[in-house]
Amino acid sequence: MGETVSFLTIISTVLVLGFTAGFAPGPTSTLVLTQTLRYGLREGAKVSLAPLFTDLPIMLIALFTMGKVSEYPQVFGAVSLVGGLFLLYLAGEVFFSAPPSLNVRTPPSGSLLKGITTNLLNPGPYLFWGTVGSPIMIDAFRTGIGAGIGVVVLFLSMIVGGKFSIAALAHFSSGFLRGSGYLWVLRCLGILMFAFAIFYFKDAGHRFGILL
């Protein structure tokens, strides 16, 4: 993402990508679902908090690293290119997802620890923050320290909110997860992810001097 990106664009990107990253199927989302179905909303909510303990340090490391190379357009262009490819992968994974299984069982206790462990062992957060999230964060901090901190809080809130939404749906309306409504939500999120992938490819083209 370039230096001329408006703060409104940053916010809208964070809202969509953050919620999609939290709501989309994956190891941590599956654990949210199974803990909720087996032990109730409280345990599912604990798992949904895992990104606060795992994504924040990963994000800070990625932000520090990318901040060091942000003055080199070709390096940043390569990051945008890889980020676009990763978003394409996520878009396909989200768009073609099948309804989740509601019959999985997991052992009791330790929901938060299980969520943290699952998230730390999942390569998704590392790829996401290293290629997709860090450019957004750098643009936000260029706007101002307060704006950057606000965007960090918003990003993490959307990820946690997306996962908590899965817990709430599993607890209050498991029929929605079994039906076509959930699939249509995922398909819409997949299309939005595809659109953001194109945006990242365009940014890579600008940084490589291919596009004006």
Q: If we measure between CA atoms, which residue out of 153, 148, 128 comes closest to residue 138?
A: 148
Q: If we measure between CA atoms, which residue out of 92, 114, 141, 97 comes closest to residue 38?
A: 114
Amino acid (one-letter) located at 129: W
pTM of the model: 0.79
- Domain ranges (residues) in the chain: 7-207
- Residue whose pair of structure tokens reads 């992810």 in the numeric block: 193
- Residue whose pair of structure tokens reads 């099948």 in the numeric block: 98
pLDDT, tens only, 7-49: 888 898 899 999 998 988 888 888 888 888 778 899 989 999 9
Residue 8: CB partners within 8 Å, gap ≥ 6? none
pLDDT, tens only, 89-124: 888 887 887 766 666 555 555 788 888 998 888 888
Two structure tokens written together for 51: 């990104």
Chain-wide mean pLDDT for the chain? 83
